[in-house]
A and B are shown apart, each in its own frame.
Chain A
Amino acid sequence: EPEVTQTPSHQVTQMGQEVILRCVPISNHLYFYWYRQILGQKVEFLVSFYNNEISEKSEIFDDQFSVERPDGSNFTLKIRSTKLEDSAMYFCASRETSGRVETQYFGPGTRLLVL
């Protein structure tokens, strides 16, 4: 069964460093998302991406964040200068496009720790 994959599974970085989180969505999906989950809290929407552009972003997704689909298969989230509060689990999701059901399938997540 096709699945969303994410790399790395864990990332430790120093405050102020840039990180790139990578995702490979399900191959025939066209809508992509990033969510984050701070430990012990609920999952929060960051950004959605369709047709090579951002379709919606939350107030969390400020100028320190960017997304890109560099090669038609990967979907990346870049944090330019990490802060302690960026420590969280980051989930990539892609959306099933057939039929009416708007189901998003999640990757296994990247656990980011900023020291």
Chain B
Amino acid sequence: AQTVTQSQPEMSVQEAETVTLSCTYDTSESDYYLFWYKQPPSRQMILVIRQEAYKQQNATENRFSVNFQKAAKSFSLKISDSQLGDAAMYFCALTGTASKLTFGTGTRLQVTL
């Protein structure tokens, strides 16, 4: 069975500052993929960033980057230069060969002025 744990129900960051959202996971598979999805108040699920487990290099997408620690089964998301539009629920998710996504419980990010 796969599990994803997000231990921070809520986080807050000031505009233009950097914030890191934590995620740990567990899987018995050797080939898997990790994702961060953003869910704004509209409740749409928007892909933020993805990481293939076989790649050692951390993924980066503009202001978003991950710290992937495979041995520790940790996959944190760093948001740099935070903007008001970054305020949302963020879900960490995992998929392996079975292809279904397993989600964490989410972290609600507030961005303050």
Of the candidate stretches A68-76, A79-87, A94-102, the one touching chain B is A94-102
Contact with A along B66-81 (1 / 0, CB 8 A): 0000000000000000
Contact with A along B88-107 (1 / 0, CB 8 A): 00010101001111111110
Q: In the complex, what residues of A have CB within 8 A of residue B50's CB?
A: 101, 103
**B84 at the A interface (CB under 8 A):** no
Complex: chain B residue closest to A108, CB-CB: B44
Contact with A along B29-42 (1 / 0, CB 8 A): 00001010100001
Q: In the complex, what residues of A have CB within 8 A of residue B47's CB?
A: 103, 105-106
Number of A-B contacts (CB under 8 A): 57
Q: In the complex, what residues of B have CB within 8 A of residue A103's CB?
A: 33, 35, 47, 50
**A56 at the B interface (CB under 8 A):** yes
Taking residues whose C-beta sits less than 8 angstroms from the other chain, chain A's interface range is: 20 to 34
**A65 at the B interface (CB under 8 A):** no
Q: Which residues in B have some Cβ–Cβ distance to A below 8 Å?
A: 33, 35, 37, 42-47, 50, 52, 91, 93, 95, 98-106
Instruction: Given contact pairs A43-B93, A43-B103, A103-B35, enumerate 10 new A-B contacts (beta carbons under 8 Å).
Output: A41-B105, A42-B105, A42-B106, A43-B101, A45-B100, A56-B98, A91-B45, A102-B95, A103-B47, A106-B44
